[in-house]
Structure 1
Amino acid sequence: MGLFNAAYSLSGQIDTEVAEDERLARHTSYRIGGPARLFVTCHSYHALRRTVDVLTREEVLWVVLGKGSNLLVSDEGYEGAVITLGREFCRFTLSEDGVTLTAGAGAMLARLVNEALTRGLSGLEYAIGIPGTVGGGLSMNAGTRTDWIGTQVAHLVSYKPGMGLKHYQRDDIIWGYRACNLAHDEIILEAAFELEQAPKQDIRERIERHLSKRRRSQPLGLASCGSVFKNPSDLDVGSMIEACGLQGFSIGGAEVSPMHANFIVNKGTARAQDVLEVMRHIMEQVKERYGIELQPEVKFLGF
């Protein structure tokens, strides 16, 4: 059996940790999700390459998971392997020019912002309240309505199974709204960000303004995946959902946040099915009122 052989081959390997039937609710910001058949933490590039080779040979489906901040996992879990990036992928280095900061894909976005602040570098302050990792943020071009992380990228390194390392300059990649055009099986390993020198106090004040705005407008104290739907064109999806009278609407343990209507929060007992049913209801109501088909921003695993 592929899964058994994969687990046997990977167990005990250098820089590799393997767990079986790991509950993914422990690894997502929604605190929702059944078990992954295999959960593999790779602490180095060689461990990652070896892991992907083994899983491919054994015909085991796999996916890379950051901090699960934009993910809804099925209640039944995932019948494959989840790979997460460990130690070697959480490092930061500053180039000799003093303004190019390189971050591993496994590092948290919030830590990237703080690393930039420590070095007196400005340009990433808007990302302080965005949950998740650098790799996850890059793959979906995370940001606000006016600032996207792709615009700060100088160059990027990824791993393409069967091809090895790939190097990109910023303009080699098409950065879209909550997306980029890297292949779905391409794993981002690190990226370098072009920033600007600025007084630390000015950077700190901008960070605080962004944090204060998020605290006032988003239910940060409750489990969620962040924004559930993409904004259609120049419209604000949260305002549209609010106009449909859906704030506070709930099914099971999933509720449309009274604070921000584009957040569906887990009140503590939500299942993935509850979230899906709330999403369907929102989509139906918005389609009926506005004639617009909402597109999910949240990703799905195991469905």
Structure 2
Amino acid sequence: MESRHGANPQAKGTRAEIKGKIFYDVPLADYTSWRIGGPVDYLVFPQDAADLKEVLEWARRDKIPYFILGKGTNILVRDGGFRGMAISLADGFGQMAVTKSLSAEVQLQAGAGLPLGTVIDFCMQKGLSGLEFAAGIPGSVGGAVAMNAGAFGGEIKEVLQAVWVMDARGNMRQDPVEKLSFSYRALSLPPGEIILGGLFNLRPAEVTRVQEEVRKIIALRREKQPYDFPSAGSVFRNPSTGPAGRLIERCGLKGYRIGGAQISEKHANFIINHGGARAKDVLKLIEVVREKVWRETGVLLELEIRVVGEEARD
């Protein structure tokens, strides 16, 4: 199925072999939590694993670069957009099912395109404990696994049993967590590989206890993090010396603004879109932060977000 946001001279006829939606020349600002980003040549929503394999075959055959968009969190798309393909698993990879239920263990299978918040809601309804730390984390299951999302002392890898992956040639496999290479806010996979879903080990618990813990964590997030303006979550990884936000605040950068991008006055590791921000504003802010923190503390901050695309040709 093909749709158009605008004409794209690179589009080559129809893609009858692909069942999912294909959009051309799409502003990615409409699909990212920062509300920032230039156009991508192709935005594709495969319907299932077989459809995704066809999409990857198209990309390989026509030498089209691609990336997984997820829910558009933890990503900055440059103002010139991305010459290639963005793939969203939101339409075809949203399944969720309990595959094993014992007195002390419950296994929950969740597709990569499923919003993480939907999984948390399910756990609250069914009394499943283990993912409470992830309450309020934006993004998809696939993104949470790829980033080894974590907060409040917990990480995704601690409750994960296995991951389903598709390689760049469309071959699928299931990797047990013991064979995966997790690190702080990262899962190392070969280039071009795509997470299709995860199998989580959870524990039965009283519904009210799970609900109370989730509400407590969401309240803490709302108290400490900005929710009034678009953002991408934490911009920098926390170094071994302590929270990145604390270092940025110590350098007097809270509230510092370039164009429409501003370091949040509520949490210094968040850059918010105060209105009309462009990727170049965010990138300049990132440069200012890294230089000043390095100069004043000797700590070189590493990005937690992904940056994709090309600069605009002004």
* TM-score > 0.5, shorter chain as reference: yes
Q: Does 1:104 align with 2:95?
A: no
Match of 1:129 in 2: 136
Match of 1:161 in 2: 168
Q: Does 1:227 align with 2:234?
A: yes
2: CA distance between counterparts of 1:246 and 1:20?
39
Match of 1:113 in 2: 120
TM-score (normalised: structure 2):
0.92
Shift of 1:97: 2.4
Gaps in structure 2 of 5+ consecutive residues: 1-7
State the Cα deviation string for residues 217-244 of structure 1 (Å, max 9, x = none). Answer: 0002210010000111141111111011
1: CA distance between counterparts of 2:304 and 2:244?
11
Which piece of structure 1 moves more, 142-151 or 290-299?
Answer: 142-151
| Amino acid in structure 2 at the alignment position of 1:60 | I
Of residues 261, 284, 292 in structure 2, which corresponds to 1:277?
A: 284
Match of 1:47 in 2: 51
Match of 2:38 in 1: 34
Shift of 1:91: 0.9
The DSSP-based 3-state class of the residue aligned with 1:100 is strand
The DSSP-based 3-state class of the residue aligned with 1:292 is coil
Matches within 5 A, 1:1-303: 3-5=10-12, 8-10=13-15, 12-98=16-102, 99-144=106-151, 146-162=153-169, 164-303=171-310
State the Cα deviation string for residues 185-205 of structure 1 (Å, max 9, x = none). Answer: 111111110000000000000
Note closer, same or farther for the CA distance 1:176–1:145 as it changes in structure 2 (3 Å cut): farther
CA contact (8 A) 1:2 1:59 kept: no
State the Cα deviation string for residues 25-61 of structure 1 (Å, max 9, x = none). Answer: 0110000001001111111111100011011101111
Shift of 1:88: 3.1
CA contact (8 A) 2:112 2:198 kept: yes
2: CA distance between counterparts of 1:96 and 1:229?
37
1: CA distance between counterparts of 2:64 and 2:89?
18
State the Cα deviation string for residues 269-295 of structure 1 (Å, max 9, x = none). Answer: 100000001111111110111111111
CA contact (8 A) 2:44 2:85 kept: yes
Shift of 1:114: 1.0
CA contact (8 A) 2:124 2:207 kept: yes
TM-score (normalised: structure 1):
0.96
Query: Which consecutive aligned stretches of 4+ in structure 1 deviate over 2 angstroms post-superposition?
Result: 1-5, 12-15
CA contact (8 A) 1:2 1:60 kept: no
Shift of 1:174: 1.6
Which piece of structure 1 moves more, 12-21 or 267-276?
Answer: 12-21
Shift of 1:123: 0.5
2: CA distance between counterparts of 1:268 and 1:65?
23
